[in-house]
Amino acid sequence: MSAEPASSASVIHRKAKVARDEFDAREMSPTKALRLALAKEAAAQFELPLVVRMVEHESVALTGIEALAGDDGLLILLDGLEGPPGAIKLNLQFVMALIEVQLMGEVRQGEAKPRSFTPTDAAIVQPLMDAVLDSYAEQVNACDRMPDAARFRFGDRVENGRALALALWAPDYDLYRLSVDFGPGAKTGMMELILPEPPPVPEVEEPSGNTLARKLEENAMNAPVMLDAVLAPIRLPLSDICRWTLGTVLKLSPDTVTGARMIGAKGHKVAAAKLGQLNGFRAVRLVLKSDAEEGAINGARGSAPETGGPATLSAPLEGGMTGFDGSDGALPDLPSGGMDLPDLPGIEGPDHMSGLPHLPEMGGLPDLPSPDGDDNVGLDTLVEEELARAAARFEADGGDEDLPMPGGPSLG
């Protein structure tokens, strides 16, 4: 019974390893950088062949550091050169493999016996840990798609998990757990690297405001919307509604199937709908009509013009005349019988002229001769007499020596 879960776990681990290897081979990642850094530095410093079998990553809050560290490993505090500190936890098999390769030149087969850790153990693993941290930071910083990694240095040994939790102060940490095989299956050790999570990179607002527009669009598209399909509103007394039971039938019009409505949260109509089914389930189909289609439908229905209203002018005709009723432009006939006009006041006698002023009497004018009769003087005689009197007055005034001849230039 116990062999089946172990076999299943082994199969799952192998499949997960293949997937991780394929992913790491395509592009750089923090797990790939740790895997390469540990293998490269171990070969460079001790000519130690090791294989990183598995790299696990998870996020851990500061409150979970004490339980994570425990009391069964070598705890090392890492000093952050540019930010909060980190930590490393090495199990006994990892530490003993490094001690054996430095003292005897190779890793011995078999597991090491349990013992307590000493400051000497921390001093032995320090060179490799510093080299691994530097190589990891260089690989991450060389990748443009990842934020720069913070740099750390080997610090002090910590006695237990509580002391480590008190020394760390970042709110969240990234935990990288590496399973390492030393030599040809001599020992299998575990290394846990606890690094503070990098702060989020602030998103730079573009001058055109595309970032803000994109955020607004995402919020609007992800906002929940509740719509209700209303077949037909019915008004009923509350007493009738309270008597409803399972199987109560409501009488609806046949037009309800094609005249359903989609109602929003505030009771406003969103769109028309038709009741139907889809894949055996009841469904509604939205019927979206444009303004042009609605106008065409309303125009097709038509409406009779109201009679008795004021006449309106139609469009101009070809002859330049505009008709009143859409005819050929002829003027309407006048009503027969004439038009009744008010009477003008009449003149009854001289009493009506009493308000006018009297004209002054004018003297010095000759009496007009009567056109008829022998004793009257003719018009020519009057003209001759008037000319004679004018000539006498002219001679009395001094003659015409200085007068120019009218109608021509002066000869003097």
pLDDT of residue 329: 44
Residue 271: which pLDDT band, with cuts at 50, 70 and 90? confident
pLDDT at 322 over 90: no
For residues 275 and 284, what is the distance between their CA atoms, to the nearest angstrom?
5
- Give pLDDT tens digits for 188-212: 999 999 999 887 666 555 555 577 7
- 377, 368 in Cβ contact below 8 A? no
pLDDT at 357 over 80: no
Indicate yes or no: pTM above 0.75.
Answer: no
Q: How many beta carbons lie within 10 A of that of residue 73, not counting itself?
A: 19
Q: How many beta carbons lie within 10 A of that of residue 195, not counting itself?
A: 25
pLDDT at 86 over 80: yes
pLDDT of residue 208: 57
For residues 51 and 182, what is the distance between their CA atoms, to the nearest angstrom?
7
Dihedrals φ, ψ of 202, to 5°?
A: -65, 135
pLDDT of residue 358: 56
pLDDT of residue 344: 55
Q: Which three-class secondary structure string do you get for 25-76?
A: HHCCCHHHHHHHHHHHHHHHHHCCCEEEEEEEEEEEEHHHHHHHHCCCCEEE
Dihedrals φ, ψ of 172, to 5°?
A: -135, 150
- Give pLDDT tens digits for 143-184: 877 777 888 999 999 999 999 999 999 999 999 999 999 977
* Amino acid letter, 141: N
Mean per-residue pLDDT of the chain: 74
pLDDT of residue 79: 92
* Amino acid letter, 110: G
List the single range of 97-106, 238-247, 291-300, 379-388 with lowest mean pLDDT. Answer: 291-300
Q: Where are the alpha helices (DSSP H) in 74-118?
A: 92-103
